[in-house]
Structure formats: structure tokens, C-alpha cells
């Protein structure tokens, strides 16, 4: 159970805490920072500066696109489940909200891709096993631009 106020798990407060950790310039034990960074599961003992920078890139893009609500992370390892999520809706329970649009990016050393759930009943897009379709933020932005009204309002 998370011990911080729920609003601390929104994109900007997590990004603010993450920036301070990156400035220290060293890896950190995940079990000591999981609550601060909304990490709900992990496969390694330490969070590296490189991983923190990936998280920062994800959060900055999420905020830019209007996904300013609840965020969470599952720090993966090769062959393990992983991901970074950002929602347009803040949490009211300390966990992912059931409504709202959700942005996803893989968080594995083996591959990187983006996906989005537009809260329209279709689930995550692009559909199927097309994981390599959206590899860059630029590709994600172009993909979202093709869906009229799919971009959340920027905060």
C-alpha cells in the first residue's frame, strides 16, 4: 500500500522526485525508492541512472501529451514483464484508475515501444502483436494525431 497522498503519484510530482535522484548521479536500491517513484514491481535490485533517465523521458513526453494523472512503473529485465504507464486521470485509490486515457511505454533492455489506450473500448493501440510499430515519441505523436480528439487536453 502506498503511503504518500494520492496526488503525489501524478506525473509531475513523480518527475520532480526523479529529477533529484538523477542529479545524485548514482544507482539506488529500488526497494528504497519504489514508493517515491511509483514503482509497483521490479526484477532487479537497483535502479540505474540510465533507467531513471528513461523514466524521465517517458514522464516528460506523457506530460507534454496531457497524460498528467497517475503514473506507475514496472522495472523489467530481459525476458520479464515491464512497463511505464501514465494516465489522464489522477488516482483515487493509490492504484491505476479504471477510466481515462493511458499511455504505455515498454521498460526493458531488449526493446522499446509505445502504446496507448484511448478509453474508447478498443484497448491498447496499435492492435495485436505490432510492438515495434511505435518506437519513437515522434511516431507516437503522429499516430495520436491520426485520431481526431484522441489527444488529451494539455495541462
Beta strand 124-125 with 83-87 is: unpaired
Range of the domain at 105: 6-145
- Residue 22 forms part of a structural domain: yes
The whole model's pTM is what? 0.91
Alpha-carbon gap, residue 73 to 150, rounded angstroms: 23
Q: What is the pLDDT along the chain (155 residues), one digit of tens a residue?
A: 457 899 999 999 999 999 999 999 999 999 999 999 999 999 999 999 999 999 999 999 999 999 999 999 999 887 888 999 999 999 988 889 989 999 999 998 788 899 999 888 888 888 866 667 899 999 999 888 886 455 555 44
Does the residue 151 lie in any domain?
Answer: no
Sign, CA dihedral 49-2-5-107, equals: positive
Number of domains, the chain: 1
Is residue 90 in some structural domain? yes
Backbone dihedral region for residue 95 (phi beyond 0: left; psi -120 to 50: alpha; all else: beta): beta
Amino acid at each position: 500500500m502506498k503511503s504518500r497522498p494520492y496526488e503525489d503519484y501524478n506525473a509531475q510530482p513523480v518527475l520532480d522526485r526523479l529529477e533529484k535522484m538523477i542529479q545524485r548521479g548514482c544507482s539506488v536500491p529500488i526497494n528504497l525508492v519504489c514508493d517515491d517513484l511509483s514503482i509497483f514491481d521490479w526484477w532487479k535490485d537497483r535502479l540505474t541512472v540510465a533507467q531513471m533517465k528513461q523514466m524521465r523521458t517517458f514522464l516528460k513526453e506523457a506530460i507534454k501529451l496531457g497524460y498528467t494523472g497517475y503514473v506507475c512503473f514496472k522495472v523489467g529485465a530481459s525476458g520479464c514483464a515491464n512497463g511505464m504507464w501514465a494516465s489522464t486521470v489522477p488516482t483515487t485509490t493509490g492504484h491505476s484508475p479504471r477510466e481515462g486515457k493511458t499511455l504505455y511505454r515498454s521498460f526493458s533492455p531488449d526493446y522499446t515501444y509505445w502504446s496507448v489506450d484511448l478509453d474508447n473500448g478498443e484497448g491498447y493501440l496499435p492492435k495485436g502483436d505490432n510492438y515495434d510499430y511505435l518506437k519513437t515519441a515522434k511516431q507516437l505523436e503522429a499516430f495520436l494525431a491520426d485520431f481526431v480528439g484522441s489527444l488529451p487536453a494539455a495541462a
